[in-house]
Amino acid sequence: MSGASDGIHDGDFVELPGGTFVMGTDEPFRYRGDGEGPAREIMLSPFRISKYSVTNTQFRSFVDDTGYRTEAEQYGWSFVFHLFLPDDFPDTRGVAATPWWRQVFGAKWTQPAGPQSDLGGLADHPVVHVSWKDAKAYCRWACVRLPSEAEWEMAARGGLVQKRFVWGDELMPDGQIMCNIFEGSFPIENTAEDGYVGTAPVDAFPANGFGLHNMAGNVWEWCDDWFHSDFHLDGPRHDPHGPPSGEAKVMRGGSYLCHDSYCHRYRVSARSSNTPDSSTGNLGFRVAAGPG
pLDDT(94) > 80: no
- The total domain count for the chain is 1
Any idea what the CATH number is for the domain that residue 34 is in?
Answer: 3.90.1580.10
Pairing assessment for the beta strands 283-284 and 13-16 based on DSSP bridges: unpaired
CB count within 10 Å of CB 63 equals 18
How confident is the model at residue 100, as a pLDDT? Answer: 87
CA–centroid distance for 223 within its chain = 8
Q: Which domain holds residue 88?
A: 3-289
Q: How much is the average pLDDT of 277-292?
A: 93
How confident is the model at residue 277, as a pLDDT? Answer: 98
> Is the previous residue joined to 46 through a cis bond, with omega within 30 degrees of 0?
no
pLDDT(14) > 60: yes
- In the predicted model, what is the mean pLDDT of the chain? 93
Q: What is the Cα–Cα distance from 97 to 90, expressed in whole angstroms?
A: 20
Q: Supply the DSSP string of 198-248, one letter for each residue.
A: S---TT-S---TTS---SSBSSEEEEEEEP-SSGGGSS-SBS----S--SS
Question: Residue 4 — very low, low, confident or very high, per pLDDT cuts 50/70/90?
Answer: very low
pLDDT(13) > 90: yes
Question: Residue 1 — very low, low, confident or very high, per pLDDT cuts 50/70/90?
Answer: very low
